[in-house]
Amino acid sequence: MARTPQTLFEKVWQRHEVCAESPATPAVLYVDLHLVHEVTSPQAFALLRERQLRVRRPDRTLATMDHSTPTTTAQLFGGAPIAIDAAARQVRELEENCARFGVELLGLRHAQRGIVHVIGPELGLTQPGKTIVCGDSHTSTHGALGALAFGIGTTEVAHVLATQCLLQRKPRTLAVSLTGSLARGVTAKDLILAIIGRLGVSGGTGHVIEYRGDTIATLDMDARMTLCNMSIEAGARAGMIAPDETTFAYLAGRPRAPVGEAWERALTLWRGLPTDPGARFDREVAVDAAAVEPMITYGTNPGMAIPIGAHIPRRPGDPVFARALEYMGLCAGEPIKDQPVNVVFIGSCTNARLSDLRTAAALLRGRHIAPGLTMLVVPGSQQVKRAAEAEGLDRVFLEAGAEWRESGCSMCLGMNGDVVGRGQYAISTSNRNFEGRQGAGARTLLASPLTAAASALRGRVTDPRELC
């Protein structure tokens, strides 16, 4: 009998089952790569110390620091102390934990440090068919290369450190089928905001999404990562894209990608990963990617997004909606375009890779941002920073009046002191517009790097198609 056709997810899952699930117990799932950062790991290492356990596979574990680290060059390289004591303590604690447990650390001043979801793919550690976890919900980013990658809590971080395994119930599968090419001025960020708007912020709960369809072939790896990154914003555990020639070309020659014979063997394996014809998904949703317009959020969750030229919807009788608009200081029925903004943030694991910076710089080149506006450009990793500098992008940003920083999560979550002021409006290329996410009382409008750059020039929400 022919083998039952399988989805990409099912293939990766099955290859990592140490013990299959039963009605009484979840599956024991093997983890190929465990990424660790300073904020969600201290309590996990503490648990190991308490139980006198070691890290089972330090060779499958990589730590870095990104969430609470400073982005000013003075604090990182100029000898100035880390301004926030508690952040300095977390940094120290990770250094100590990694030393004690034998875990490799790309530490504060390491040339390969960066946002954990940017450096995994960049180093070539993220590979098709791997299982990857991290104590961070945007671990879904790595799925862009055909890995099964998802976020876990700190207790689970301890589980993986100690056993390299997790207890997991098998999630359901959701196919998001995309057709057509993105229009001019439209990016992967707009596409994922449109998809989340369609699915709803909990529409993916309990599911692993596979993004598929003819649109995928038109997207480069950075765009695919942007897409998978925000899967969690639809409630999904993971987002995946089948590996193809674009994926292989991206990985070839990366510092930690396989070489020689191992590369050939890996390629054979990777080519067998895409979903088989006839495989079944638990749910399917179709999205016309060609029809997507530049998107922007107006509310306090990523599902509250509209095309940039649209009006903020009215939802009379919905107190939660009313509260969101009150927090945002915006009115139902009004256009979002031309809303004045105070801050523009280009950064985060969603949109701070080299192509994102190039896109923004192309618009800013030879122009200046609006007076009174603060603009922060924070590369996703130190490697992205150096690559951008090699092309002169830093000069473009600085001459336009923006700040050019060292890499990290920065204003995406405002843990390191890079915050948006109370009541201020920020256009942000990050992934969450929750109340207070970018600082207490901050008002976040999520958008693409293109829309962010266009809006920076005018100091108000601007349709990038008017400028590019």
Question: What residues pair up with 404 in beta bridges, in sequence order?
Answer: 377
**Contact status, residue 199 vs residue 307, Cβ threshold 8 Å:** no
Picked from another protein, ligand SF4, none, the partner binding residue 349 (CB below 5 to 8 A depending on kind) is: ligand SF4
Sheet containing 207-212: order of strands: 238-240, 207-212, 172-179, 283-288
Among 126, 164, 382, 451, binds another protein (CB under 8 A): 164
CA pair distance 432, 444, nearest whole angstrom: 8
Q: How far is CA 445 from CA 59, 202, 262, in A?
A: 40, 20, 45
The yes or no reply on residue 249 touching another protein (CB under 8 A) is no
The yes or no reply on residue 167 touching another protein (CB under 8 A) is yes
**Contact status, residue 13 vs residue 240, Cβ threshold 8 Å:** no
The yes or no reply on residue 68 touching another protein (CB under 8 A) is yes
User: Can you give the binding site for ligand SF4, defined by CB under 6 A?
Assistant: 66-67, 115, 117, 136, 138, 348-349, 409, 412-413, 430-431
Site for another protein in 7-46 (CB under 8 A): 18-19, 23-26, 28, 30, 39-40, 42-43, 46
Residue closer to another protein by CB (options 45, 250) is 45
**Contact status, residue 293 vs residue 308, Cβ threshold 8 Å:** yes
Picked from ligand SF4, another protein, none, the partner binding residue 39 (CB below 5 to 8 A depending on kind) is: another protein
Question: What residues pair up with 343 in beta bridges, in sequence order?
Answer: 374, 426
Site for another protein in 388-447 (CB under 8 A): 413-415, 422, 432, 434-437, 440-441
Question: What residues pair up with 240 in beta bridges, in sequence order?
Answer: 210
For residue 464, which of 267, 196, 262, 189 has the smallest C-alpha distance? 189
CA pair distance 268, 265, nearest whole angstrom: 5
Residue closer to another protein by CB (options 1, 24) is 24
The yes or no reply on residue 462 touching another protein (CB under 8 A) is no
User: Tell me, what DSSP letter sits at residue 171?
Assistant: P
Q: Give the nearest distance from C-beta 164 to another protein in angstroms.
A: 7
The yes or no reply on residue 156 touching another protein (CB under 8 A) is yes
Picked from ligand SF4, another protein, none, the partner binding residue 462 (CB below 5 to 8 A depending on kind) is: none
Q: How many residues bind another protein (CB under 8 A)?
A: 65
The yes or no reply on residue 70 touching another protein (CB under 8 A) is no
CA pair distance 385, 357, nearest whole angstrom: 9
Burial of 335 (0-12, 13-18, 19+ CB in 10 A): middle
The footprint of another protein (CB under 8 A) covers 18-19, 23-26, 28, 30, 39-40, 42-43, 46-47, 51, 53, 56, 67-68, 84, 86-87, 89-90, 93, 135-137, 151-156, 158-159, 162-167, 169, 201-202, 205-206, 232, 235, 237, 301, 319-320, 323, 413-415, 422, 432, 434-437, 440-441
